[in-house]
Amino acid sequence: MVAAWKAAGLTYNKYLSIAARVVRRSLKEQPRLAAERRGDMQLKFAKWEGGKQGEVKSLAKEPAE
């Protein structure tokens, strides 16, 4: 028997992301705001050459609404 997320054509990470979003949206106001802040992330990248850090670039996508 195949897992429901796999049968739907989702990766496990995508399935977890959707499930977490649903749980966060079901919470009351204060816990929901705290959970949404924990769900935010920042991703930055810098190339190092010769022991020196290059320009730092943000790799985060714009939030989808």
The reported pTM is 0.49
Instruction: Give the Å distances, CA to CA, from 11 to 5, 14, 18, 23.
Output: 7, 5, 11, 19
pLDDT tens for residues 12-55?
989 988 888 888 888 898 888 887 777 676 778 888 999 999 98
